[in-house]
Structures are given as C-alpha cells and as structure tokens.
A and B are shown apart, each in its own frame.
Chain A
Amino acid sequence: MTSEAKKDAPLGRVIVITSGKGGVGKTTSSAAISAGLAKQGFKTVVIDFDVGLRNLDMIMGCERRVVFDFINVIQGDAKLKQALIKDKRLETLFILPTSQTRDKDALTKEGVEQILNELKAEFDYIVCDSPAGIERGAQMAMYYADEAVVVTNPEVSSVRDSDRVLGLLSSQTKRAETDGAEPIKAQVLLTRYDQARVDSGEMMTVEDVLEILAVPLLGVIPESKAILKASNVGTPVVLDEPSAASRAYEDAISRLTGTQVEMRIQGERRPGLFQRLFGRAT
C-alpha cells in the first residue's frame, strides 16, 4: 500500500479543509490528515491559508523553523523550496506556513494557482488549511480544490455554517465554474462528537447532521483529551500516542485515500451492569 504511490507520477490532489465556523477543528484536522497521509507513504504538503493568523506551524510543531512563507513565494520574494518546511518526523511531509503580518489581499488567484501547480508536480496530496469565515482566504483555499473536508461540530451554528460552505463549494470554485468538470467531492468530518451526550439526547447524532447537510461522511472524531495534549506539544494527533481521536483520524484518512473502512464511533463505552447499578462516578 505505502510503496505503490511512490513510483508513479504524483497524484497532485488538492484537498481543502474548511468549515465556515471557527474553532471546530480545521487546523487540528489539517495537521492530522496531512500527517496521516504522509505516514501512509504519500508525499504530502499542508498549506496554511489563514494569512495574518498563522497557527498551523504551532500545531505541526515547526513554529521556530519558519523563515519564508506562502505570501513571500506568491510575491516572488522567495522560492517555493525555500519556504517549504520539511517535517522532522516524517520524510514525506512538508509544511508551507502563511504570513503572520501581511494582509490577506496578498493572496491572489493567479499566485495561488501557480504555487499549487508547482506543488502538484511533486506531491501526492496538497492539504489546504482554510481560515474561518467565507472571506478571501477561505475562498482562495477552496477555489482550486479537488476534494473538500467540511469540519463540523454537532452543534447548530457549526452545521449552519457548514451548509453555507457546501453551497460555496458547489458554486464559487474552479470546478464549479468549469463546464464539464466533475464537482468537488465534499465530505463531512464530524468532530468533538460526544457519544454519551448523544445517547442522552442533548447532542445531535451523526445521522441528524448527515440528514441536514446531505453529503457523505468522512469520519467521526470523538471529543478527546488527546487533541489538546497533542497541540500543546506541537504533534499532529496521529503521530502522538494512540487515542480514540487518533484512531478515528486514521480511519478517516484511509477513507480519503479510497480504502473502505467500517464506520465505528470511537470512544463509545457502554456502561456495564455494574456501572448502571452503582453510578458512573468512576
């Protein structure tokens, strides 16, 4: 599985990680997905599109190695090779950080296209970490995408914003504007899912969210302490010690590459008879 992708020409697949709403786990998911793809042997680069609010570098743990950024490359101040940061854990993983200072107008359609084309010639997967909102940065992140991962929490504002973003993906992107092009393949990644709260009727179920958004499910990431722990130390969650969240990400990543993986909701622990009788204090 891992070696077969290496010999052929790179896949050059552009995947945008988007959501509309902020704080739902876009950057965490971008880091996990890119690291997971690289771990499977795919040559992967992850790009931070959140100009002015650079954060992917911290989640990836390479914040002290940023010299040149995405905007420097667009404006011709640096070569792409100079701006790409090679991950220290995985041979096949690269990070393209964004600018901390310049304004988002620096992102031009032509500039982004040129960089993506250069990356496509070398990488299997190009993961675009979108900023929150539906402004320029988010539009640029999704415009050239082949696939979209819409990160959604089982919560009303997040689902509403995801619906908005799905509308934009099917109308405001290159694939949408090109006659005869296959539409962007959009999938939902449900994050911060809490099975116990779903069981007690205080959180929407996976089925509820899918029924509303009407797009396929990529995976369900349970609410997990491992996420904060991993971000504290700058390690993508799939490279940290195994947890319910990391296993759920691994499954989602396998589905992204076309492998059939049974959908199981991790972190689901049915209370046993003992617990039911004597409480769940433990």
Chain B
Amino acid sequence: MNLFSFVRKPRPAQSAQTAKDRLQILLAHERSSGTAEADYLPMLQRDIIAAIRKHVPIIGDKDVDVRMERGDQMSSLEINIDLPASLPPKKG
C-alpha cells in the first residue's frame, strides 16, 4: 500500500486552513468591538433609523444593520437597510 501512497495520496481535509479562516473573521470582529470607539455604533444606528423613518415607513429597528470593519489602513462603516416589499405611496 505504502508503495503507491504518494501517487494516489488521499487529500486530507485541510483543517488548519479552516482554523485560520475562522480566526481571521472572528478576530476582525472582536478587535473592532473591543474598543471604546465602537460605543457610538448603537447611537449611530438609532439616529440612522430615526432619519430614515422621517421619509420611509420602515418597520422596526431590525431593518437597519450597522457594521464596522476595522483594518490597519482603513476602516469601513457598512449600513444595510431592509425596505418593506411594497412601499405605501408617499404623502406629498
């Protein structure tokens, strides 16, 4: 068996790569949430919801998702807003 083992070597699952990927994703998140600067995010989220509500009747707080991605060179703020499937006609 061993004679041919390096010819038709069964590719083992590269679990080390999975470990690395999971860590990178997790730590990117933990590093950003662990700092005091991230404390304004909930407040920002509230303000954004209030601002959008003035114009669009979105359902609730869960429709707005605010995320911060922090990198060495730059950070990005990602805001996702789910709008209801059918918008009621505007007043004006």
Interchain CB contact under 8 A, A203 and B23: no
Please report the total number of A residues contacting B with Cβ < 8 Å.
Answer: 22
Q: Which of A156, A164, A198, A277 has a CB less than 8 Å from the CB of B2?
A: A277
Give min CB distance, A131 to chain B, whole Å: 21
Interchain CB contact under 8 A, A212 and B30: no
Give min CB distance, B80 to chain A, whole Å: 27
Majority SS of interface residues in chain B? helix
User: Known interface pairs A201-B16, A201-B17. Does A278 touch B2 (Cβ–Cβ under 8 Å)?
Assistant: yes
Least CB separation from B26: chain A residue? A160
**Residue numbers in A under 8 Å from B13 (CB-CB):** 201
Chain B contact-residue range equals 10 to 19
Interchain CB contact under 8 A, B26 and A202: no
Majority SS of interface residues in chain A? helix
Give min CB distance, B39 to chain A, whole Å: 15
Q: Does B12 contact A (CB under 8 A)?
A: yes
**Residue numbers in B under 8 Å from A205 (CB-CB):** 16
A277 to B17, CA, bound (A): 28
User: Known interface pairs A204-B19, A208-B20, A277-B3. Does A167 touch B31 (Cβ–Cβ under 8 Å)?
Assistant: yes
Q: Which residues of A contact B (CB under 8 A)?
A: 154-156, 159-160, 163-164, 167, 198, 200-205, 208, 211-212, 276-279
